[in-house]
Structure formats: C-alpha cells, structure tokens
Amino acid sequence: MRDSYHDQLDDILADLVHMCQKVAIAVRSSTSALLDADIHLAEQVIGDDTELDRMQADIEERAFTLLARQSPVAGELRTVVASLRMVTELERMGDLAAHVAKIARLRYPEVAVPELLRPNFVRMGDVAEKMVVTAGHTLSSRSIESAEDLRSRDEEMDDLRSSQFRVMLGDGWEYGVEAAVDVALLGRYYERIADHAASMGRRIIYVVTGEFPETEYWPQP
C-alpha cells in the first residue's frame, strides 16, 4: 500500500515535469508568434492551452484522491500539497503564454513589438522558456542549486522589464500609445511566467528541505 502511494506520487511528479515541457514549448512558440507575427503559431498556442487545462484537472484529481486515501507521512504530504500548488502555477503560465499569443494575433499582420525592443523581447522569451525548463529539471532532480538558478534568472527578467520601461518612457519612443500598451502588458506576462517558475523553485526547496527559503530574496507565489 505504501509503495503504491509512493508510485502514484511519483507519477504525479513525472506528469508535472511533462507539463513543464509543454509549458516551455508554449512559451517558446508564443515568443516566435509574437516576434514573427506568425498567426498560425499564435492560434496553435491558444488552442493547445486547453490541453494544459486538461492536464491540470487530471493531476488535481489524482492528488486529491491521494489526500483522501490515507494519511501520508509528512514528507509525502508536503509533496502532494506542493504538487497541487505547482500544477496551478503551470496552468497559469500556460494562460500567460496564450495571452502573449493573443496580442500577436490581435496585431497581425503587424508585429506587436517595435523593432527597438525586439532584442529585449528575444531575451525575455529566452529567459522565460529557460526558467520553465529549469523548473522541470529542478522538479525531477530535486536539486537545490537548480532551484537557486531560478532566482537569479528571475532577477534578470526584472532587469529586462525595467529596461523596457526606460525605453518606452524615454525621448526616443516614436511608436505611439498602442505599442506602449502592448509592451507594458507583454512585459507583465513574461514577468509573471518568470515569477511562477521562481515560485516553483521555492516550493521544490520546501519539499526537499521542509522549509521555505528566506522570503526576502524570493518572489512570493
């Protein structure tokens, strides 16, 4: 019975890792759709989001069944509860990738991102995607170092966003209000994807060590 509980928990964790891979693809595809005004790719990200919703519902149900079945030992209980949290964050990251894709679709055939900020968004997309991949790796390896890597990447994301604001509010901005509104929201979506990935790192440290890392250095969930 114990083994079976343990196996089912392992299956949930494996599916969370699988979900990280799907979310990483969604983030990469939405960034490509955004930067290349690729309407087909944008539609694909938006459509595929229902698959992430389905995975979330499935994982939640299984975690709930595990909680109902028997009282797990403390470490397992922490893991089940953290899984319920992480699956919500992954589903949310999928939504945010779909939000990026929706702005790409809204501005098609134009590119929503002005040329001046293209390198910034290339980097933002890259950091966000790598953070989701790292969250998945952290989950499968339970590596504290890997979780800490998420923290420093999240700081890089914050810097990228600050630099967007400097560009938009500086004298050289000649792209008007619509582009600024798009950039403000797009930047927010990427920042939130990064926050969720960093928050997953924090939860994994909690699962592994039984304690949350110092909150002042970590973004809150």
- Applying CB under 8 A, which residues contact its own copies? 53, 64, 67-71, 74, 77-78, 81, 84-85, 88, 91-92, 95, 165, 168-169, 173, 176-178, 180-181, 184-185, 188, 215, 220-221
Least CB distance to its own copies at residue 93 (A): 13
Least CB distance to its own copies at residue 145 (A): 26
Residue with smaller CB distance to its own copies, 54 or 141:
54
d(CA 97, CA 112): 15
Least CB distance to its own copies at residue 21 (A): 21
Tokens 């950039």, residue located: 183
Residue with smaller CB distance to its own copies, 136 or 219:
219
Q: Which two tokens stand for residue 188?
A: 């927010």
Residue with smaller CB distance to its own copies, 42 or 186:
186
Least CB distance to its own copies at residue 57 (A): 9
Least CB distance to its own copies at residue 22 (A): 16
Write the burial class of residue 215 (CB in 10 Å: 0-12 exposed, 13-18 middle, 19+ buried): exposed
Q: Which two tokens stand for residue 113?
A: 């991102």
Distances (CA, A) of 4 to 8, 15, 62, 144: 6, 16, 13, 27
Residue with smaller CB distance to its own copies, 37 or 81:
81
Residue with smaller CB distance to its own copies, 36 or 64:
64
Going by C-alpha positions, the residue among 170, 10, 31, 160 that lies closest to residue 98 is 31
d(CA 169, CA 179): 12
- Beta carbons of 66 and 9 less than 8 angstroms apart: yes
Residue with smaller CB distance to its own copies, 25 or 67:
67
d(CA 113, CA 212): 38
Going by C-alpha positions, the residue among 60, 157, 158, 51 that lies closest to residue 98 is 51
Least CB distance to its own copies at residue 107 (A): 12
